[in-house]
Amino acid sequence: MSGANSSSLTPGFFILSGVPGLEAAHVWLSLPFCFMYIVAVVGNCGLLYLIGHEEALHRPMYYFLALLSFTDATLCTTTVPNMLCIFWFNLKEIDFNACLAQMFFVHMLTGMESGVLMLMALDRYVAICYPLRYATILTSPVIAKAGLATFLRGVMLIVPFTFLTKRLPYCRGNSIPHTYCDHMSMAKVSCGNVKVNAVYGLLAALLIGGFDIFCISVSYTMILRAVVSLSSADARHKAFSTCTSHICAIVITYVPALFTIFTHRFGEKSIPHHIHIIIANLYLMLPPMLNPIVYGVKTKQIREEVIKLLFKEKDISAMK
């Protein structure tokens, strides 16, 4: 096998084939993904700058949003530049260890993204159900510890993926029909028993996604109860409006994620492979692209700070 060590059956490199069946359209496919990547990086870096620069946004909700923006910008950067190299320059080779590293960061960062959304749901729960104690409950040390715990959870649950994947013998070739290194895509190239990989992958998805969705559901159930009990219609509307951006982010993140996870394991025969690959890429691209737009449009404080910053820049330019 090309690129393989015959004694260990571990390839020196993999070939990422891109989107199987749509090789002729790779250049055209690259255009929307390139556009989404630029919007995602500019939007998330812009949010990070705004939250760091404007003192009015130095509040728990925006600290969590900054963490989400950093995670999103890093997540799409782990896959899109490599994907564009495949589409534009036909650079399909990736070192075996680099493939493992990409797989680790993709799954760890998606787990981190899910965890941050869960923390943001808890933030909204505290803000609406305990408004007078909000600042004393969600202090900077508490936020830092929550962010660190989310990061460590992702690392500890995803690290076994690298060992489970590295132990497999690869005697079926070294071509992966994907645009990036994914756990099950790598495992399916192997000629070994991948049952442990499949079971642990599903278990990790349940421990991360299942736990986070449960916490989000409980948080919003409590929020709904608290909001319905408010006597003023205006107060109910105001309370709900503070959650709309977060609810949009949850839908944008979890719908394609659940589709990708379950079709990878149960629906591959019924869904064309190129559709699965495109959806898998959109799953990594849509949340980073849309989250800054959603929060920029739906969050009044961010809109106001953007307008204030733009007018400040214009005033400085006029003075020059």
Dist. CA 35–CA 32, nearest whole Å? 5
Question: What integer pLDDT is reported at residue 314 of this predicted model?
Answer: 58
pTM assigned to the model: 0.91
Q: Which amino acid is at 251?
A: V
pLDDT of residue 264: 64
At residue 25, the 3 state secondary structure works out as helix
Spell 102-111 as b/e; 16+ CB within 10 A means b: bbbbbbbbbb
102 within 8 A of 78, measured Cβ to Cβ: yes
Indicate the SS3 state at residue 94.
Answer: strand
Each domain of the chain, given as residue ranges in start order, spans 13-310
Whole-angstrom distance, CA of residue 29 vs CA of residue 84: 9
Tokens of 145: 């510890």
β-pair partners for 176: 16
Distance in angstroms between the alpha carbons of the first and the last residue of the chain: 65
Q: Please, what is the angle between helix 60-89 and helix 140-166, to 10°?
A: 30
pLDDT means over runs of 10, the chain (320 residues): 52 93 93 97 94 91 96 96 96 96 96 96 93 93 96 97 93 91 90 91 92 95 88 78 86 84 67 86 93 88 82 61
Query: How crowded is residue 8: how many other Cβ atoms within 10 Å of its Cβ?
Result: 9
Fill in the DSSP letter of residue 131: G
Distance CA 63, CA 57 (A): 8
The domain 13-310 is placed in CATH, from the list 1.20.1070.10, 2.40.30.10, 1.10.3210.10, 1.20.140.10, at 1.20.1070.10
